[in-house]
Amino acid sequence: MPYHQSHHTRETEHLTYGRAAPSRAQLEATEPATDPLTGLPTLKEFYRLGRPLVEACLSQEVPCAVAIVDIDHFRRLNETCCEETVSQVLRAIAAKIEAACQGSRHLHARLDDEEFGMFLIGLDGAAAMDFCEKLRLGIASKRFVAGDSDFSVTVSIGLAKVCGPEIFDNYLNAAEQFLFMAKSLGRNQVFSEFTVVLQAAS
């Protein structure tokens, strides 16, 4: 299946408007491997560690999938809450993802301001959906305090099964496309090709 280039790759191109662009080696040398706010691996590490994991899963015929977790209404959160509250939300969601992946071979990372990535190993389509749904519900159940009020946040999750050898960016982009469907259908849900099958059967 052909995919457009993922926005995660486009953001690493670093347009320089006439100045000499830094080499990939220079970029990798300056970009940290760990996100300083959440302690999770960065996008660079997600790519570096994810590629060999995909190859190993495909060669051993182990089911695997890529998921993107995106905080709903993140711009509104930024506009209405102070920086410390937003940081608290990001750290809490990172902790939920880390706890969900604990004891497994799953890879997880912070991809962007409000996006997190997961590479799920050993889960077929139904099991990966169940994993992401439990994570979504766990995040929604968390309460945060801001001044005299408290609130919760929700996430949308795009989930794409790895079916064959592709460049790693294609797997992320497939998950992005399902994430867009989750957002366009109301947010606060998990969407994948498994969702499409279930909807067609109902």
**Rounded Cα gap, residues 174 and 159, in angstroms:** 8
Task: Give me the phi and psi of 126, to 5 degrees please.
Answer: -65, -40
Q: Residue 109: is its pLDDT beyond 90?
A: yes
Mean pLDDT of 144-152: 90
Mean pLDDT of 24-39: 77
pTM for the whole thing? 0.84
Query: What rounded mean pLDDT belongs to the chain?
Result: 87
pLDDT band at 21 (very low <50, low <70, confident <90, very high): very low
Q: Residue 2: is its pLDDT beyond 50?
A: no
Q: Residue 68: is its pLDDT beyond 90?
A: yes
pLDDT band at 122 (very low <50, low <70, confident <90, very high): very high
Which runs of E-coded beta strand occur in the chain?
64-71, 107-110, 115-121, 144-146, 149-151, 155-161, 190-192
